[in-house]
Structure 1
């Protein structure tokens, strides 16, 4: 029943990109349909925008919006390094736009001109963040040609990121931690295990995940908290062994908290643009349905 209710909401409310993702993940839909929908969010410079990440309606390319596109590419397991969307992303990341030589910007100045959540405000004094840089490094290492300048730069940036992680361990931002987990997984997938000390990185990430997960599960339904699904997507994850019980609890939580319309509660909001937030909240409901259904598919027994 939980699947049927979720599916019904998706078909009635979701954006074309999320309907295509749903079909691919659960109904044998095509990668091509996902990519066609995804391409509508890509700008001429190769970056992504237009509220692909629903909390920011900026039509100008930004690293975080582009990161969301890389997540969808990862989700559908696209291996074509010469796909136009992939080449466009690499063009954007190679351009130097929104890049300070070490990290891509977490927020961009043009965010402030369009409806957005407060956490996407641009502040010229923003602190150094590896969200989404750590993920973007991994994407480059997977898809760029090994003799390209952007690939060579990404190797250097991966080492800088690892140094930052060690120097600031443990991190307190769950989203930054998830970016480091993804960098680790990209390196494993690409068999670039000599670029960093992977054993040390795995050990630190194992400790980091256990440090940052919200174990007070009474908060899960009412606050925006850190759950294991942010880091662990399958039972083959290197971080599953030490988190089996909490992953199983999250499955039970998902099943117990689905609402009558097939959705799950969105536990955050932004107040400055109420009309846009009402639309955005619906987009997030569809995204979270997909997230939770993927998790159940991977872990529920």
Structure 2
């Protein structure tokens, strides 16, 4: 199993972008997390948002909510290092995070909701699936952004509005896809109102069957969101949604999916060769983190 880690790290060293290489060093080598924080800073715009293809399916330089979400993920991963606690202020007090919240508030609808992106995406190379649907405010990404900010301990006027909007949407029911449910579960795991979160969470198991893009069967080769996206570690609050055998089957599949070059494949078509390799680096780091968390490395 150590061969999986060695080959995956070698793939990242050869093909991965700087962010994933710095994060891998933080996670597996106890490296200084400041390098990963500085790497994501390069995607930051003067308006406080993030862009420049931080999420690689579009090459738009403008600030987009989806890129802000990806920036938060990098910062939270870097903050998992004990060395982050020793050397840097809490994420909730981070200037980058506060100014990103200011930007989100400036582009949000009056009720607090934000879309994944804006029509400016169409002016740049982008994957075919990025189209009008991504420009409508929704739980994806509003709920996920709010959940991440609650996890980071942020207090901000936009977060308050986004949280209120998310509760109203969820308490009216859920009829969206698996990607959106991943965002919703991030919110439910970290929203401060735990009684309200527990009440909504009781319905999650009923939402799963037939959910679009949910790939429950480990042998299914199609594109999709698997149980390991919902529960990427044994301490996930959502692990008990799935039978132990299902989780084990997906872990086996994840290990088998490693390619001869050491990286993991993707099952969609990004806009170019560079973005394809960037995504493979992202997926390789995700696979290594998940396998490590479950004791498979």
Which of the five TM-score ranges fits, normalised by the shorter chain? Answer: 0.7 to 0.9
**Residue aligned with 1:10, SS:** helix
- Which of 140, 165, 170 aligns to 1:165? It is 170
Aligned to 1:273: none
Aligned to 2:123: 113
Aligned to 1:240: 239
The answer as to whether partners of 2:111 and 2:161 remain within 8 angstroms in 1 is no
The answer as to whether partners of 2:112 and 2:161 remain within 8 angstroms in 1 is no
1:207 shift after superposition: 3.2
User: 2-side partners of 1:66 and 1:39: how far apart?
Assistant: 11
User: 1-side partners of 2:230 and 2:177: how far apart?
Assistant: 13
- What is the number of equivalent residue pairs in this alignment? 282
The answer as to whether partners of 1:137 and 1:157 remain within 8 angstroms in 2 is yes
User: 2-side partners of 1:298 and 1:219: how far apart?
Assistant: 23
Q: How does 1:128-277 map to 2 (within 5 A)?
A: 128-143=137-152, 146=155, 148-150=156-158, 154-169=159-174, 171-187=175-191, 192-194=192-194, 197-209=196-208, 212=211, 213-220=214-221, 223-243=222-242, 244-270=244-270, 276-277=271-272
Please identify, of 234-243 and 54-63, the stretch whose mean Cα deviation from structure 2 is larger.
234-243
1:230 shift after superposition: 1.3
Aligned-pair Cα RMSD in Å: 2.2
User: 1-side partners of 2:154 and 2:261: how far apart?
Assistant: 46
1:117-155 superposed Cα distances (whole Å, 9 cap, x missing partner):
12222469x555211110122244455764x533xxx33
1:204 shift after superposition: 1.7
User: 2-side partners of 1:123 and 1:229: how far apart?
Assistant: 26
1:227-282 superposed Cα distances (whole Å, 9 cap, x missing partner):
11211122122211232322211111122221110112211115xxxxx5111111
The answer as to whether partners of 2:66 and 2:141 remain within 8 angstroms in 1 is yes
Aligned to 2:91: 80
The answer as to whether partners of 1:109 and 1:123 remain within 8 angstroms in 2 is no
Corresponding position: 1:93 with 2:104:
yes
Corresponding position: 1:292 with 2:294:
no
Aligned to 1:41: 43
User: 2-side partners of 1:260 and 1:143: how far apart?
Assistant: 38
TM-score by length of 1: 0.85
Distance 1:257 1:145, change over 3 A: closer
User: 1-side partners of 2:137 and 2:265: how far apart?
Assistant: 31
User: 2-side partners of 1:59 and 1:238: how far apart?
Assistant: 35
**Residue aligned with 1:197, SS:** helix
User: 2-side partners of 1:217 and 1:252: how far apart?
Assistant: 8
1:50 shift after superposition: 0.5
Task: List alignment gaps of at least 5 residues for structure 2.
Answer: 81-89
The answer as to whether partners of 2:114 and 2:137 remain within 8 angstroms in 1 is no
**Residue aligned with 1:55, SS:** coil
User: 2-side partners of 1:229 and 1:14: how far apart?
Assistant: 22
User: 1-side partners of 2:161 and 2:62: how far apart?
Assistant: 28
Aligned to 2:55: 53
**Residue aligned with 2:198, SS:** helix
User: 2-side partners of 1:149 and 1:287: how far apart?
Assistant: 32
